């Protein structure tokens, strides 16, 4: 009696047969953004919209900030400096320094889009922020390279829409929402980012880096509020990378 043929192995991300096609990949990105990513960004930008209103900025200025910057920490810095009467040059410099953290994230992610037209890469680079970056780095291993541009475009479009909607709602409802709640909503997104990173704790380098960051972060912030966060990231990330490579060296040699 002949045995049935073994089941075919699942298609990998590099297999042309695994391609979804542009339209389906775009819809997949939209669907995966709807839910926790969009809701949490919406909640965070409710707080930002209220902050914009409290600084006596216009709704248009808040929306323009969201479109042009698409990174909440830099936007908060801009609003707070504006409220203190800082110059436009000073605000621009502070926002640039705040958002410089996105540069290595962009350099790490853009090559994963494959051979896409340059204008598409520029457009996607503009909407690379923490939430989208974590999602892409988590799922791209199972998304065919040819589908990654439409997938991320769909995912980022939902995130941008949710931030704009949150900005509008927070601005209009600012008088009804206590300031403490508005500030608390801004912290929702960093908590989500932390939970997303915890999914990768099986990787030793990630686990060590997060552990060092949790321990060093509060202490270094007390020592230097201006440089504590940067020092924590540099020390914890480097230590996690070095310690995480030791098992690989033992395995290879």
Three-state SS across the chain?
CCCCCCCCCCCCCCCHHHCCCHHHHHHHHHHHHCCHHHHHHHHHHHHHHHHHHHCCCCHHHHHHHHHHHCCHHHHHHHHHHHHCCCCHHHHHHHHHHHHCCHHHHHHHHHHHHCCCCHHHHHHHHHCCCHHHHHHHHHHHHHCCHHHHHHHHHHHHHHHHHHHHHHHHHHHHCCCCCCHHHHHHHHCHHHHHHHHHHHHHCCCHHHHHHHHHHHHHHHHHHHHCCCCHHHHHHHHHHHHHHHHHHHHHHHHHC
Q: Which residue ranges make up each domain of the chain?
A: 19-200, 201-253
Q: Tens digit of pLDDT per residue, the chain (253 long)?
A: 445 444 444 445 555 545 667 789 999 999 999 988 898 889 889 888 988 988 888 999 999 999 988 888 888 888 888 888 888 888 888 888 888 888 888 999 999 998 889 999 999 999 998 889 988 988 998 899 989 999 999 999 999 999 999 999 999 988 777 777 766 776 776 676 676 666 667 777 878 888 888 888 888 888 887 788 778 888 988 888 888 776 555 555 5
Measured CA to CA, the distance from residue 248 to residue 250 in angstroms comes to 5
Contacts 24+ apart (CB under 8 A), 220-228: none
Indicate the Cα dihedral angle 29, 35, 41, 42, nearest 10°. Answer: 120
Residue 214 CB partners (closer than 8 Å, separation 6+): none
With contact defined as beta carbons under 8 Å apart, do 100 and 230 qualify? no
- 171 CB burial (10 A radius; 0-12, 13-18, 19+): buried
What pTM value is reported for the model?
0.75
């Amino acid at each position: 009696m002949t045995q049935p043929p073994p089941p075919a192995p699942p298609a990998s991300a590099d297999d042309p047969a695994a391609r979804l096609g542009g339209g389906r990949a775009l819809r997949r990105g939209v669907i995966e953004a709807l839910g926790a990513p969009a809701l949490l960004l919406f909640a965070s930008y409710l707080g930002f919209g209220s902050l914009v209103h409290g600084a006596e900025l216009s709704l248009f200025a808040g929306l323009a900030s969201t479109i042009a910057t698409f990174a909440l920490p830099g936007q908060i810095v801009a609003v707070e400096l504006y409220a203190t009467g800082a110059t436009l040059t000073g605000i621009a410099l502070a926002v640039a320094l705040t958002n410089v953290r996105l540069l290595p994230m962009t350099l790490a992610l853009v090559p994963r889009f494959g051979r896409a037209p340059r204008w598409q890469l520029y457009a996607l680079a503009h909407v690379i922020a923490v939430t989208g970056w974590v999602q892409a780095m988590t799922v791209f291993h199972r998304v065919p390279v040819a589908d990654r541009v439409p997938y991320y475009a769909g995912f980022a479009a939902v995130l941008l829409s949710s931030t704009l909607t949150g900005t509008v709602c927070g601005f209009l409802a600012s008088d009804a929402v206590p300031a403490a709640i508005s500030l608390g909503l801004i912290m929702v997104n960093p908590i989500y980012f932390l939970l997303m990173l915890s999914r990768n704790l099986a990787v030793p380098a990630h686990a060590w880096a997060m552990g060092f960051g949790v321990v060093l972060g509060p202490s270094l912030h007390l020592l230097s509020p201006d440089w504590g966060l940067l020092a924590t990231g540099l020390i914890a990330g480097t230590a996690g990378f070095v310690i995480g490579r030791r098992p690989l060296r033992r395995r290879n040699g």
